[in-house]
Every structure is written in C-alpha cells, then in structure tokens.
Structure 1
Amino acid sequence: MRVTEKGQVTIPKEIRDRFNIVPGTEVDFVASKGGALLIRVDTRDDDSSIRDFDDWAERVRGTFDTGGMSTDEFMIFLRGERDDVDSG
C-alpha cells in the first residue's frame, strides 16, 4: 500500500468489512515499536473483534508458567545475560 501526496492510504476492503469500517467511521493510528496500528476510535463493547480477543484472553489466563522465575530471571532466560550493564 502506498501513501499519497496528501498522506492518505486506502484501507483494504477485507479489513474494512471485517471491522465494519464504513464512511464516517472514526479511526486512529497508534504508534508501536514495529510500526503503526490502525484502530477504530468508536469501537463498541459489543464489537465481535473485542469479544473474540476477550474470549481468547480469558481462555489463556493463567496458562503461562515461568517455572517460578521472577520477571528479571525470565527476561534473562529469554534474552540472555546483558553485557552492557554492571551486574553489581
């Protein structure tokens, strides 16, 4: 997808249909480390995409087991020891 000289982009039809984005729908871009996310500003609580996510989040709640590691220990497990900071 290409940005026009006016800074506009076309939201693909599949995305518009899936999230019921029609003319007049308020959307916004949210910056993230990987880029930008398009979100509906006027999303209602009965929106199926929110229900789907909430249902998924509820199903996986409490299923992640760090084996008793603290957050710091788990980060070291994931990333390895940092050599750019003093450990003492």
Structure 2
Amino acid sequence: MPAMSEPTTMSVKGQVTIPRDIRERLGLQAGDKIAWTILSNGTVVVRPKTRRLSDLVGILNRPEQPGVSVDEMKPFAE
C-alpha cells in the first residue's frame, strides 16, 4: 500500500499546499503545472505536466544517429 502524507487543508481560494515529500518525489518546483484527473471510481490522479528540456534528453536517440546536447537543442526551444 502506498505511503500516505499528512492531510492538508484547502484555503477559501481552493488552494492547498502539496506536502514536501510529495513535491520531492514528483520533482515539483515553484511554477510547475499539475494535471488532475478523476477516475470513474472517485480516485484522483495528480501528475506533473511541466517538463524541462533536460528531462527529454535521450528519448529520441537512435543508435545509428549521433546524440545532440541540450545546448544544441536550445535554439529550437526559444
């Protein structure tokens, strides 16, 4: 069974603080976006949506092609 964090309280504006252990486990930082999904059984799934360019390094690498560094990709991200 997954570990549970301490409960948090929702503010009148609908804001909650994500517990530190959860933020660290998901790699969340200030300004990151989060996607919320409600499954048919009532389970709420929370996923980070912000990806940094460095998170994508190597995902399209093919053995027959030379790799591309993050610095070489930066002009395409601007």
Please report the TM-score for the alignment, with normalisation by the length of structure 1.
Answer: 0.45
Q: Whose Rg is larger?
A: 1
Between Structure 1 and Structure 2, the one with more helix by share is 1
Higher relative contact order (Cα pairs below 8 Å, separated by 6+ residues): 2
